[in-house]
Structure 1
Amino acid sequence: MSKNVADKLGKGLTPQQFIDGMTKNREQFLDWYNRFEWGSDGDRDFFESLSNRDDLRCLIIAADWCGDVVRNVPVVFRLLENSGIPVEVLIMEENLDTMDQFLTMGGRSIPVVIFADTGGFVLGQWGPRPRHVQEPMVRFKQQNPDRNAPDYEENLKATRAEIKARYGEGTGYHALIAQELRELLSTF
Protein backbone atom coordinates (compact mmCIF):
# COMPACT_ATOMS: atom_id res chain seq x y z
CA MET A 1 0.00 0.00 0.00
CA SER A 2 1.38 3.41 -0.89
CA LYS A 3 1.89 5.92 1.88
CA ASN A 4 0.77 9.54 1.83
CA VAL A 5 1.82 12.38 4.12
CA ALA A 6 -0.24 15.18 2.55
CA ASP A 7 -1.90 15.90 5.89
CA LYS A 8 1.53 16.69 7.40
CA LEU A 9 2.94 18.93 4.65
CA GLY A 10 3.16 22.51 5.87
CA LYS A 11 2.62 21.51 9.51
CA GLY A 12 6.18 20.73 10.56
CA LEU A 13 8.98 22.88 11.93
CA THR A 14 11.58 24.50 9.71
CA PRO A 15 15.13 23.25 10.35
CA GLN A 16 15.86 26.50 12.23
CA GLN A 17 12.71 26.19 14.35
CA PHE A 18 13.73 22.63 15.24
CA ILE A 19 17.22 23.77 16.29
CA ASP A 20 15.86 26.76 18.21
CA GLY A 21 13.40 24.51 20.05
CA MET A 22 15.96 21.91 21.09
CA THR A 23 16.17 21.44 24.85
CA LYS A 24 18.63 18.53 24.68
CA ASN A 25 21.86 17.91 22.72
CA ARG A 26 21.75 21.26 20.90
CA GLU A 27 25.52 21.88 21.20
CA GLN A 28 26.33 18.42 19.81
CA PHE A 29 23.78 18.88 17.01
CA LEU A 30 25.29 22.23 16.02
CA ASP A 31 28.80 20.78 16.26
CA TRP A 32 27.97 18.09 13.67
CA TYR A 33 26.16 20.72 11.58
CA ASN A 34 29.16 23.07 11.62
CA ARG A 35 31.69 20.30 10.97
CA PHE A 36 29.92 19.16 7.79
CA GLU A 37 32.08 19.30 4.67
CA TRP A 38 31.14 18.40 1.13
CA GLY A 39 32.82 15.34 -0.33
CA SER A 40 34.74 15.69 -3.58
CA ASP A 41 32.68 13.39 -5.77
CA GLY A 42 30.05 15.80 -7.05
CA ASP A 43 27.67 15.55 -4.11
CA ARG A 44 27.33 19.32 -3.76
CA ASP A 45 26.54 19.70 -7.48
CA PHE A 46 24.00 16.89 -7.31
CA PHE A 47 22.09 18.32 -4.34
CA GLU A 48 22.20 21.87 -5.74
CA SER A 49 20.90 20.58 -9.09
CA LEU A 50 17.71 19.50 -7.34
CA SER A 51 16.74 23.18 -7.11
CA ASN A 52 15.58 22.80 -10.73
CA ARG A 53 12.74 20.63 -9.40
CA ASP A 54 9.74 21.93 -7.52
CA ASP A 55 7.98 18.59 -7.07
CA LEU A 56 9.76 17.29 -3.97
CA ARG A 57 9.09 17.75 -0.26
CA CYS A 58 11.01 16.38 2.73
CA LEU A 59 9.64 15.51 6.16
CA ILE A 60 11.98 14.37 8.92
CA ILE A 61 10.58 12.57 11.96
CA ALA A 62 12.92 13.44 14.81
CA ALA A 63 13.38 14.26 18.50
CA ASP A 64 16.23 16.11 20.21
CA TRP A 65 16.86 13.33 22.78
CA CYS A 66 17.88 10.80 20.12
CA GLY A 67 21.58 10.25 19.45
CA ASP A 68 21.00 9.19 15.83
CA VAL A 69 19.00 12.39 15.22
CA VAL A 70 21.84 14.44 16.72
CA ARG A 71 24.39 12.77 14.44
CA ASN A 72 22.41 12.38 11.21
CA VAL A 73 19.87 15.19 10.90
CA PRO A 74 22.52 17.97 10.80
CA VAL A 75 24.01 16.21 7.77
CA VAL A 76 20.59 15.90 6.09
CA PHE A 77 19.93 19.59 6.78
CA ARG A 78 23.26 20.57 5.20
CA LEU A 79 22.80 18.31 2.17
CA LEU A 80 19.34 19.75 1.46
CA GLU A 81 20.06 23.41 2.34
CA ASN A 82 20.61 24.50 -1.25
CA SER A 83 18.52 21.80 -2.92
CA GLY A 84 15.35 23.87 -3.12
CA ILE A 85 13.48 21.01 -1.42
CA PRO A 86 11.30 22.32 1.44
CA VAL A 87 12.35 20.51 4.62
CA GLU A 88 10.09 20.17 7.66
CA VAL A 89 10.68 18.40 10.96
CA LEU A 90 7.93 16.47 12.71
CA ILE A 91 8.57 15.88 16.42
CA MET A 92 8.06 12.15 16.90
CA GLU A 93 6.03 12.34 20.11
CA GLU A 94 3.61 14.81 18.50
CA ASN A 95 3.24 12.73 15.32
CA LEU A 96 2.98 9.10 16.41
CA ASP A 97 0.36 8.48 13.71
CA THR A 98 2.96 9.30 11.09
CA MET A 99 5.80 7.61 12.98
CA ASP A 100 3.85 4.36 13.07
CA GLN A 101 3.64 4.34 9.26
CA PHE A 102 7.46 4.37 9.05
CA LEU A 103 8.64 1.76 11.54
CA THR A 104 12.10 0.23 11.27
CA MET A 105 12.05 -3.54 11.90
CA GLY A 106 8.80 -3.01 13.80
CA GLY A 107 10.14 -0.27 16.05
CA ARG A 108 10.01 3.51 16.30
CA SER A 109 13.52 4.39 15.14
CA ILE A 110 14.40 7.97 14.29
CA PRO A 111 15.30 9.92 12.33
CA VAL A 112 13.13 8.98 9.38
CA VAL A 113 13.73 11.16 6.34
CA ILE A 114 10.70 11.02 4.05
CA PHE A 115 10.65 12.31 0.50
CA ALA A 116 7.24 12.97 -1.02
CA ASP A 117 5.79 14.73 -4.02
CA THR A 118 3.68 17.89 -3.69
CA GLY A 119 0.58 15.74 -3.21
CA GLY A 120 2.16 13.95 -0.25
CA PHE A 121 2.70 10.64 -2.05
CA VAL A 122 5.77 9.07 -0.44
CA LEU A 123 8.51 8.46 -2.99
CA GLY A 124 11.13 7.09 -0.60
CA GLN A 125 12.55 7.17 2.89
CA TRP A 126 15.92 7.01 4.63
CA GLY A 127 16.99 6.33 8.19
CA PRO A 128 17.58 5.95 11.00
CA ARG A 129 21.28 5.44 10.22
CA PRO A 130 23.59 4.87 7.25
CA ARG A 131 23.37 1.20 6.16
CA HIS A 132 26.92 0.37 7.31
CA VAL A 133 26.16 1.79 10.76
CA GLN A 134 22.74 0.09 10.92
CA GLU A 135 24.02 -3.43 10.05
CA PRO A 136 24.80 -4.43 13.68
CA MET A 137 21.23 -3.51 14.76
CA VAL A 138 19.71 -5.53 11.91
CA ARG A 139 21.84 -8.50 12.93
CA PHE A 140 20.94 -8.00 16.62
CA LYS A 141 17.19 -7.94 15.89
CA GLN A 142 17.46 -11.12 13.82
CA GLN A 143 19.51 -12.96 16.44
CA ASN A 144 17.67 -11.69 19.55
CA PRO A 145 13.91 -11.91 18.94
CA ASP A 146 13.10 -12.53 22.63
CA ARG A 147 13.29 -9.29 24.61
CA ASN A 148 13.06 -11.31 27.84
CA ALA A 149 16.07 -13.53 27.08
CA PRO A 150 18.72 -13.39 29.84
CA ASP A 151 21.41 -12.07 27.46
CA TYR A 152 19.17 -9.60 25.57
CA GLU A 153 20.37 -6.43 27.37
CA GLU A 154 24.00 -7.52 27.25
CA ASN A 155 23.77 -8.20 23.51
CA LEU A 156 21.98 -4.88 22.94
CA LYS A 157 24.73 -3.02 24.81
CA ALA A 158 27.38 -4.71 22.64
CA THR A 159 25.40 -3.84 19.51
CA ARG A 160 25.16 -0.18 20.53
CA ALA A 161 28.93 -0.13 21.12
CA GLU A 162 29.51 -1.51 17.61
CA ILE A 163 27.17 1.11 16.13
CA LYS A 164 29.10 3.85 17.94
CA ALA A 165 32.38 2.42 16.64
CA ARG A 166 31.02 2.37 13.09
CA TYR A 167 30.01 6.02 13.35
CA GLY A 168 33.58 6.73 14.42
CA GLU A 169 34.92 9.87 16.04
CA GLY A 170 35.00 12.10 12.98
CA THR A 171 32.74 13.11 10.13
CA GLY A 172 33.53 10.21 7.79
CA TYR A 173 30.00 8.84 8.08
CA HIS A 174 28.65 12.09 6.56
CA ALA A 175 29.77 10.84 3.14
CA LEU A 176 27.71 7.65 3.65
CA ILE A 177 24.56 9.72 4.26
CA ALA A 178 25.27 11.88 1.21
CA GLN A 179 25.79 8.78 -0.95
CA GLU A 180 22.64 7.04 0.29
CA LEU A 181 20.42 10.13 -0.08
CA ARG A 182 21.87 10.77 -3.51
CA GLU A 183 21.10 7.16 -4.55
CA LEU A 184 17.55 7.48 -3.18
CA LEU A 185 16.85 10.86 -4.79
CA SER A 186 18.17 9.59 -8.13
CA THR A 187 15.35 7.06 -8.26
CA PHE A 188 12.56 9.64 -8.61
Structure 2
Amino acid sequence: MVRAAELWNEAMTPDEYLQQMTKNRERFEANITRTRIMPGDWAAFGQEPLHILVLTEDWCSDSAQFVPMVIRLSQLVPTVEVRILRRDEHKDLAEQYQRKDGYQPIPVFILLDAEFQELGALLERPERATQEMTEETRRFLAEHPDLPGANRMIDRMPEETRQAVKAHIAAWRDEQFDRWTRYLIEDLAEIAKSAKLRVA
Protein backbone atom coordinates (compact mmCIF):
# COMPACT_ATOMS: atom_id res chain seq x y z
CA MET A 1 0.00 0.00 0.00
CA VAL A 2 1.51 3.32 -1.07
CA ARG A 3 1.57 6.13 1.48
CA ALA A 4 1.03 9.81 0.73
CA ALA A 5 4.43 10.72 2.19
CA GLU A 6 6.17 8.42 -0.30
CA LEU A 7 4.80 10.47 -3.21
CA TRP A 8 5.52 13.94 -1.83
CA ASN A 9 8.78 14.46 -3.70
CA GLU A 10 7.31 13.48 -7.06
CA ALA A 11 4.21 15.63 -6.62
CA MET A 12 3.91 18.94 -8.50
CA THR A 13 4.34 22.34 -6.95
CA PRO A 14 1.33 24.65 -7.49
CA ASP A 15 3.21 26.45 -10.28
CA GLU A 16 4.02 23.16 -12.03
CA TYR A 17 0.38 22.09 -11.74
CA LEU A 18 -0.82 25.39 -13.22
CA GLN A 19 1.54 25.04 -16.18
CA GLN A 20 0.08 21.68 -17.19
CA MET A 21 -3.61 22.55 -16.70
CA THR A 22 -5.77 22.29 -19.82
CA LYS A 23 -9.17 23.00 -18.21
CA ASN A 24 -10.39 25.65 -15.75
CA ARG A 25 -6.99 27.37 -15.51
CA GLU A 26 -8.30 30.93 -15.75
CA ARG A 27 -10.92 30.27 -13.06
CA PHE A 28 -8.35 28.44 -10.94
CA GLU A 29 -5.90 31.36 -11.04
CA ALA A 30 -8.67 33.88 -10.32
CA ASN A 31 -9.73 31.83 -7.29
CA ILE A 32 -6.18 31.85 -5.91
CA THR A 33 -6.18 35.65 -6.11
CA ARG A 34 -9.62 36.10 -4.55
CA THR A 35 -9.00 33.78 -1.58
CA ARG A 36 -8.88 35.80 1.64
CA ILE A 37 -6.57 34.50 4.36
CA MET A 38 -7.46 35.93 7.76
CA PRO A 39 -5.21 36.82 10.72
CA GLY A 40 -6.53 33.83 12.67
CA ASP A 41 -5.25 31.51 9.94
CA TRP A 42 -1.70 32.50 10.86
CA ALA A 43 -2.37 31.37 14.42
CA ALA A 44 -3.91 28.10 13.25
CA PHE A 45 -1.26 27.17 10.68
CA GLY A 46 1.80 29.31 11.35
CA GLN A 47 3.21 27.51 14.37
CA GLU A 48 4.84 24.44 12.80
CA PRO A 49 5.32 22.90 9.34
CA LEU A 50 2.29 21.45 7.59
CA HIS A 51 2.37 19.66 4.25
CA ILE A 52 -0.85 19.35 2.23
CA LEU A 53 -0.84 16.79 -0.58
CA VAL A 54 -3.77 17.27 -2.96
CA LEU A 55 -5.20 14.61 -5.28
CA THR A 56 -7.09 16.36 -8.06
CA GLU A 57 -7.88 16.73 -11.78
CA ASP A 58 -8.33 20.02 -13.62
CA TRP A 59 -11.81 19.17 -14.97
CA CYS A 60 -13.29 18.98 -11.45
CA SER A 61 -15.40 21.98 -10.36
CA ASP A 62 -14.78 21.29 -6.66
CA SER A 63 -11.05 21.30 -7.37
CA ALA A 64 -11.29 24.61 -9.26
CA GLN A 65 -13.00 26.13 -6.22
CA PHE A 66 -11.20 24.58 -3.25
CA VAL A 67 -7.64 23.75 -4.33
CA PRO A 68 -6.83 27.45 -4.97
CA MET A 69 -7.75 28.17 -1.35
CA VAL A 70 -4.98 25.94 0.02
CA ILE A 71 -2.53 27.26 -2.55
CA ARG A 72 -3.24 30.80 -1.35
CA LEU A 73 -2.83 29.66 2.24
CA SER A 74 0.61 28.26 1.36
CA GLN A 75 1.57 31.49 -0.42
CA LEU A 76 0.84 33.59 2.66
CA VAL A 77 1.71 31.27 5.56
CA PRO A 78 5.35 30.14 5.20
CA THR A 79 4.92 27.00 7.34
CA VAL A 80 2.34 25.53 4.91
CA GLU A 81 3.51 23.75 1.78
CA VAL A 82 1.25 22.32 -0.93
CA ARG A 83 2.01 19.67 -3.54
CA ILE A 84 -0.38 18.25 -6.11
CA LEU A 85 -0.86 14.85 -7.76
CA ARG A 86 -3.20 14.02 -10.61
CA ARG A 87 -5.68 11.62 -9.08
CA ASP A 88 -6.11 9.46 -12.17
CA GLU A 89 -2.37 8.82 -12.29
CA HIS A 90 -2.31 7.74 -8.64
CA LYS A 91 -5.37 5.55 -8.24
CA ASP A 92 -3.56 3.28 -5.79
CA LEU A 93 -3.33 6.21 -3.36
CA ALA A 94 -6.74 7.67 -4.22
CA GLU A 95 -8.51 4.37 -3.45
CA GLN A 96 -7.45 4.72 0.17
CA TYR A 97 -9.60 7.87 0.50
CA GLN A 98 -13.15 6.85 -0.33
CA ARG A 99 -16.35 8.33 1.02
CA LYS A 100 -18.58 6.21 3.26
CA ASP A 101 -20.85 5.51 0.27
CA GLY A 102 -17.89 4.07 -1.67
CA TYR A 103 -17.69 7.05 -4.05
CA GLN A 104 -14.18 8.15 -5.07
CA PRO A 105 -14.00 11.82 -4.04
CA ILE A 106 -12.12 14.57 -5.79
CA PRO A 107 -10.25 16.56 -4.62
CA VAL A 108 -8.63 14.93 -1.58
CA PHE A 109 -6.54 17.03 0.83
CA ILE A 110 -4.06 14.87 2.80
CA LEU A 111 -2.41 16.60 5.76
CA LEU A 112 1.12 15.61 6.79
CA ASP A 113 3.15 16.96 9.68
CA ALA A 114 6.78 18.12 9.73
CA GLU A 115 7.99 14.47 9.73
CA PHE A 116 5.49 13.54 6.97
CA GLN A 117 3.28 11.56 9.32
CA GLU A 118 -0.32 11.66 8.13
CA LEU A 119 -2.62 13.76 10.30
CA GLY A 120 -5.84 13.10 8.38
CA ALA A 121 -7.63 13.99 5.16
CA LEU A 122 -10.50 16.13 3.93
CA LEU A 123 -12.50 14.52 1.13
CA GLU A 124 -14.01 16.52 -1.74
CA ARG A 125 -15.30 19.62 0.08
CA PRO A 126 -16.26 20.72 3.61
CA GLU A 127 -19.32 18.86 4.86
CA ARG A 128 -21.09 22.16 5.60
CA ALA A 129 -20.69 23.16 1.95
CA THR A 130 -22.12 19.81 0.80
CA GLN A 131 -25.16 20.25 3.05
CA GLU A 132 -25.77 23.78 1.79
CA MET A 133 -25.44 22.68 -1.83
CA THR A 134 -27.95 19.86 -1.28
CA GLU A 135 -30.41 22.29 0.32
CA GLU A 136 -29.99 24.82 -2.48
CA THR A 137 -30.55 22.12 -5.12
CA ARG A 138 -33.79 21.10 -3.38
CA ARG A 139 -34.89 24.73 -3.13
CA PHE A 140 -34.17 25.37 -6.81
CA LEU A 141 -36.08 22.27 -7.93
CA ALA A 142 -39.04 23.12 -5.68
CA GLU A 143 -39.19 26.57 -7.32
CA HIS A 144 -39.09 25.02 -10.81
CA PRO A 145 -41.56 22.11 -10.80
CA ASP A 146 -42.06 22.79 -14.53
CA LEU A 147 -38.63 21.29 -15.28
CA PRO A 148 -39.13 17.76 -16.66
CA GLY A 149 -38.22 15.09 -14.11
CA ALA A 150 -37.50 17.66 -11.39
CA ASN A 151 -38.65 15.17 -8.74
CA ARG A 152 -36.08 12.54 -9.78
CA MET A 153 -32.53 11.95 -8.52
CA ILE A 154 -30.13 14.13 -10.52
CA ASP A 155 -28.56 11.21 -12.39
CA ARG A 156 -32.06 10.18 -13.61
CA MET A 157 -33.21 13.61 -14.71
CA PRO A 158 -33.55 14.48 -18.40
CA GLU A 159 -30.40 16.16 -19.71
CA GLU A 160 -32.01 19.62 -20.02
CA THR A 161 -33.08 19.54 -16.35
CA ARG A 162 -29.72 18.26 -15.18
CA GLN A 163 -27.98 21.07 -17.08
CA ALA A 164 -30.34 23.67 -15.59
CA VAL A 165 -29.54 22.42 -12.08
CA LYS A 166 -25.79 22.39 -12.78
CA ALA A 167 -25.84 25.90 -14.23
CA HIS A 168 -27.77 27.26 -11.26
CA ILE A 169 -25.54 25.55 -8.69
CA ALA A 170 -22.35 26.68 -10.47
CA ALA A 171 -23.42 30.32 -10.23
CA TRP A 172 -24.79 29.92 -6.71
CA ARG A 173 -21.69 28.21 -5.30
CA ASP A 174 -19.47 30.96 -6.71
CA GLU A 175 -21.41 33.40 -4.49
CA GLN A 176 -20.50 31.26 -1.46
CA PHE A 177 -16.76 31.51 -2.14
CA ASP A 178 -15.69 33.56 0.88
CA ARG A 179 -17.83 31.61 3.34
CA TRP A 180 -16.73 28.26 1.91
CA THR A 181 -13.10 29.41 2.14
CA ARG A 182 -13.68 29.76 5.88
CA TYR A 183 -15.23 26.29 6.03
CA LEU A 184 -12.25 24.70 4.28
CA ILE A 185 -9.60 26.53 6.32
CA GLU A 186 -11.43 25.79 9.59
CA ASP A 187 -11.89 22.11 8.74
CA LEU A 188 -8.24 21.66 7.76
CA ALA A 189 -7.16 23.39 10.97
CA GLU A 190 -9.43 21.10 12.97
CA ILE A 191 -7.93 17.97 11.35
CA ALA A 192 -4.41 19.16 12.20
CA LYS A 193 -5.39 20.16 15.75
CA SER A 194 -7.28 16.92 16.48
CA ALA A 195 -4.35 14.81 15.28
CA LYS A 196 -1.95 16.68 17.57
CA LEU A 197 -4.31 16.22 20.54
CA ARG A 198 -4.48 12.46 19.85
CA VAL A 199 -0.67 12.25 19.88
CA ALA A 200 -0.41 14.32 23.06
TM-score, shorter chain, exceeding 0.5: yes
Q: How does 1:20-39 map to 2 (within 5 A)?
A: 20-39=19-38
Whether the aligned pair in 2 keeps the contact of 1:133 and 1:163 (CA below 8 Å) is: no
Residue 190 of structure 2 is aligned to residue 183 of structure 1 = yes
- TM-score by length of structure 2 reads 0.72
Instruction: Measure the CA separation in 2 of the matches of 1:162 and 1:126.
Output: 26
Q: What CA RMSD, in Å, does the superposition of the two structures yield over aligned residues?
A: 3.0
For residues 90 and 121 of structure 1, do their structure 2 counterparts lie closer, same or farther at Cα, with a shift above 3 Å needed?
Answer: same
- The residue type equivalent to 1:45 in the other structure is A
- The residue type equivalent to 2:95 in the other structure is D
Instruction: Measure the CA separation in 2 of the matches of 1:184 and 1:166.
Output: 27
Structure 1 residue 171: deviation in Å?
A: 2.6
Question: Which of 44, 67, 82 matches 1:46?
Answer: 44
Q: Which residue of 1 aligns with 2:18?
A: 19
For residues 21 and 4 of structure 1, do their structure 2 counterparts lie closer, same or farther at Cα, with a shift above 3 Å needed?
Answer: same
Whether the aligned pair in 1 keeps the contact of 2:3 and 2:93 (CA below 8 Å) is: no
Structure 1 residue 7: deviation in Å?
A: 2.3
Instruction: Measure the CA separation in 2 of the matches of 1:171 and 1:117.
Output: 27
Question: Which of 114, 119, 123 matches 2:119?
Answer: 123
- TM-score by length of structure 1 reads 0.76
Instruction: Measure the CA separation in 1 of the matches of 2:167 and 2:102.
Output: 22
Higher radius of gyration, 1 or 2: 2
Whether the aligned pair in 1 keeps the contact of 2:109 and 2:121 (CA below 8 Å) is: yes
- The residue type equivalent to 1:13 in the other structure is M
Runs (5+) with no aligned partner, structure 2: 138-150
For residues 161 and 44 of structure 1, do their structure 2 counterparts lie closer, same or farther at Cα, with a shift above 3 Å needed?
Answer: farther
- The residue type equivalent to 1:175 in the other structure is R
For residues 171 and 6 of structure 1, do their structure 2 counterparts lie closer, same or farther at Cα, with a shift above 3 Å needed?
Answer: closer
For residues 166 and 175 of structure 1, do their structure 2 counterparts lie closer, same or farther at Cα, with a shift above 3 Å needed?
Answer: farther
After superposing on structure 2, the runs of 4+ consecutive aligned residues of structure 1 that deviate more than 3 Å are: 117-121, 155-166
- The residue type equivalent to 1:110 in the other structure is I
For residues 184 and 162 of structure 1, do their structure 2 counterparts lie closer, same or farther at Cα, with a shift above 3 Å needed?
Answer: farther
Structure 1 residue 73: deviation in Å?
A: 0.2
- The residue type equivalent to 2:56 in the other structure is A
Deviations 1:33-85 (A, max 9, x none): 11111236x123332x23xx24x432100111100000000001112332423
Of Structure 1 and Structure 2, the greater helix share is in 2
Q: How does 1:1-188 map to 2 (within 5 A)?
A: 4-39=3-38, 42-47=40-45, 49-50=46-47, 53-54=48-49, 56-81=50-75, 82-104=77-99, 105-117=101-113, 120-135=116-131, 151-152=152-153, 153=155, 154=157, 157=162, 164=170, 167-172=173-178, 173-187=180-194, 188=196
Instruction: Measure the CA separation in 2 of the matches of 1:185 and 1:128.
Output: 17
For residues 58 and 132 of structure 1, do their structure 2 counterparts lie closer, same or farther at Cα, with a shift above 3 Å needed?
Answer: same
Identity rate of aligned residues, in percent? Answer: 27
Aligned length: 171
Structure 1 residue 109: deviation in Å?
A: 1.4
Runs (5+) with no aligned partner, structure 1: 141-149
Whose RCO is larger (CA < 8 A, sep 6+)? 1
